[in-house]
């Protein structure tokens, strides 16, 4: 089991800045090694640094680099988060592809030999289930799973981000529970097809799958 420190900016801004400096060293290592070809799935709680960690991994991979943005902003908080993410990846060489639904279309828009960061499955599923027409697509997760599998079969370098929403003790309404189960289904599909599975939890990145492969990237990090 491999652990990599990751800190939440909201609660530890000073430590977060130190961590970002360390990540800069980590990125240099990845670029120097130049051994890509890795599919990574990372999940974790909200606002715990997983998107930034995923972003810094993908930014070290070969060009062209694509940031697949799935969030469809519905309120000011969403707009603020999108803008923050744009600022964080500024200058990192990403080509942003806005794809809030029908994720398979990125194969038509992008060079599959490039590197990808898909952020996130959580937003993608919400967009597909809860359509703007106020209809509910209860089979959206099955369609997304098929499209996601096609993507993972075609591309070589990709980081996929999702949110861990399964540990709450509350009892949800049937529709919300269907969404949670649908996201869990997509997480399982992504984990099955990826070389490395990571969890961001309690200021740590925990490797659940692909210890040896991910350790190649982290060699010399400490």
pLDDT tens sequence across 177-199 = 999 999 999 999 999 999 999 99
Query: Yes or no: is domain 37-199 CATH 3.30.450.20?
Result: no
108 in Cβ contact with 97 (< 8 Å): no
Q: Return the percentage of the chain with pLDDT > 70, whole number.
A: 80
Separation between Cα atoms, residue 45 and residue 161, nearest integer Å: 11
107 in Cβ contact with 151 (< 8 Å): yes
Closest CA relative to residue 149, chosen from 121, 114, 181: 121
SS3 54: helix
Average pLDDT over residues 141-157: 97
**pTM score of the predicted model:** 0.82
Predicted confidence (pLDDT) at residue 7 exceeds the cutoff of 80: no
| Per-domain boundaries in the chain | 37-199
């Amino acid at each position: 089991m491999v652990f990599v420190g990751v800190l939440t900016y909201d609660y530890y801004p000073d430590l977060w800045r130190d961590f970002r400096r360390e990540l800069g060293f980590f990125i240099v290592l990845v670029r120097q090694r130049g051994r890509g070809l890795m599919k990574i799935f990372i999940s974790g709680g909200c606002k715990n640094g997983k998107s930034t960690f995923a972003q810094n991994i993908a930014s070290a991979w070969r060009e062209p680099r694509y940031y697949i943005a799935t969030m469809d902003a519905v309120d000011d908080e969403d707009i603020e988060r999108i803008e923050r993410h744009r600022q964080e990846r500024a200058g990192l060489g990403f080509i942003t592809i806005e794809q809030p639904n029908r994720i398979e279309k990125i194969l038509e828009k992008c060079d599959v030999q490039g590197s990808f960061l898909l952020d996130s499955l959580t937003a993608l599923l919400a967009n597909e289930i809860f359509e703007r027409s106020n209809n509910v697509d209860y089979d959206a997760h099955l369609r997304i799973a098929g499209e996601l599998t096609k993507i993972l079969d075609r591309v070589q370098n990709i980081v996929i981000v999702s949110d861990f929403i399964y540990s709450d003790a509350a009892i949800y309404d049937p529709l919300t529970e269907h969404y949670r189960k649908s996201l869990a289904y997509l997480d399982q599909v992504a984990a099955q097809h990826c070389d490395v599975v990571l969890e961001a939890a309690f200021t740590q990145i925990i490797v659940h799958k692909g210890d040896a492969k991910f350790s190649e990237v982290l060699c010399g990090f400490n």
